[in-house]
Structure 1
Amino acid sequence: MTEPSVVAVVPAAGVGSRMRADKPKQYLTLAGKTILEHTLENLHSHPAIDHIVVAINKDDGWFPTLPVANAPWLTVVDGGKERADSVLAGLSVLNPGDWALVHDAARPCLHHTDLDQLLAVRSRDDVTGGILATPVRDTMKRAKGNRPCIAHTESREHLWHALTPQLFPAVLLKQALISGLNNGLTITDEASAMEAQGYTVALIDSHPGNIKITQPMDLSLAEFYLRQLTFPTS
């Protein structure tokens, strides 16, 4: 019996307004390539990933100009307005038995050792999938509504920062996302949709370099972490 495939789904239809740039952040240049190219090639270079699906804005004029746009290991689909819409578009081309590995377009510094640990959850019977995450180490403050004043201190015990990739059986994730959207659930990541359906999701401690580029100052830090990776990126 063939082992189910692992297909990476990369939602990349966002505009990244916090970067204050003249193009979506995934097309900014980092160490000689766009952020999106680094992310896609990083995933492709892992031997367990069989294929990649990237969800692009239908009016995106940047992606077709990239060398990676016509790669045989890549399928391009039209993304949606929200992240969950883009992920669903990506899931629509997966086979029923596939595992979906959803990863942010703006996280180019993923370590393959982290990915190995995440992929290992496929053999566990106590969870339905897993995500990369990091334990909260700083003191957490709750603000008074929209005011920049402290209401109270939150306990950081058992709190984790959710990252990506996030790995789930494609069929179950698709059902969870559709159910969540139909019920008005705020879906901030794939795990939140799975949690709402009662599934148990594993937390896999991630390397600190797995940052999401959201602001201009993140670029130099990402370049530093990118240069620490030892696997081929081209």
Structure 2
Amino acid sequence: MTTRLWAILPAAGVGRRMGSAVPKQYLELASRTVIEHTLELFVDHARIAGVVVALGVEDGYWEATAYATHPKVRRAPGGAERCHSVLNALAALDGQADADDWVLVHDAARPCLRLDDLERLIDGLLDDDVGGLLGIPVRDTMKRAGSGERIDTTVDRSSLWHAYTPQMFRLGLLRRALHEALEAGDLVTDDASAIERLGLAPRLIEGHADNIKITRAEDLPLAHFHLQRQGRI
């Protein structure tokens, strides 16, 4: 049987750094919500079998979105941390997805993912033994801080990358990796970290720097600019 691809969007966060009463994934961006821009690429993609969105139990915004009743999208309960939300979303695929199917986990607050980057990730990992993620090599000089917010040392950037999403792994492997991380009390902040704990080395696929994550108010106009440049708005 041919393995299928599924997408998971953890979207249970409240986005405290935005300083807004509305969670960042529901902020308006070019007449739509952030999460609607993010979902569009996956829902419209012919190679993605379905999408699971992990939402907070008290989420009062989702039902008003364009994808709330879409047949390709299902809802799962969010968790206290991102890793809990991803596990809940994986559980929502029980009975429909196989352990060898691929899962692409993408931040709901990254609406500017390019279609060609998504295609490059999928094509680059379908035959990979581990899986991997989108990222870009670090370009800036990197400093490690010491006490008193003073520089302790300059870090060699030659092997450093910014880790982006989507992050793409086999469903069974990712579920095992997240379970083991949580059993060890390690609240991993991305899926690749959970895979790394198993002694595996995810592959880095270079993408574009405009795949930004909206975390602060000033990111919204920047996301608008990138979407406009991409011809998506």
TM bracket (short chain): over 0.9
Equivalent of 1:139 in 128, 137, 141: 141
Q: Secondary structure at the match of 2:150?
A: strand
1:98 paired with 2:101, answer yes
1:194 paired with 2:187, answer no
1:120 aligned residue = 123
Listed as ranges, the matches of 1:38-187 within 5 Å are 38-94=37-93, 95-96=97-98, 97-125=100-128, 127-145=129-147, 147-187=148-188
- Which letter maps to 2:158? E
CA RMSD of aligned residues (A): 1.4
Shift of 1:117: 1.1
Inter-partner Cα distance in structure 2 for 1:181 and 1:217: 34
- Which letter maps to 1:44? V
Shift of 1:22: 1.2
Inter-partner Cα distance in structure 2 for 1:197 and 1:120: 24
Shift of 1:91: 0.6
Inter-partner Cα distance in structure 2 for 1:26 and 1:165: 16
Q: Secondary structure at the match of 1:68?
A: coil
- Which letter maps to 2:115? H
Runs of 4+ in 1 over 4 A off after TM superposition: none
CA gap 1:228/1:48 in 2 versus in 1, 3 angstroms? farther
TM-score w.r.t. the length of structure 2 is 0.94
Inter-partner Cα distance in structure 2 for 1:93 and 1:81: 17
Shift of 1:230: 4.5
Superposed CA offset, 1:75-128 (max 9, x none): 001100100000001111222232110000000011111111111234434x41
- Which letter maps to 1:187? V
2:7 aligned residue = 8
- Which letter maps to 1:110? L
> Could you tell me whether the CA contact under 8 Å between 2:79 and 2:85 is conserved in 1?
yes
Shift of 1:223: 0.5
2:204 aligned residue = 203
> Could you tell me whether the CA contact under 8 Å between 2:54 and 2:85 is conserved in 1?
yes
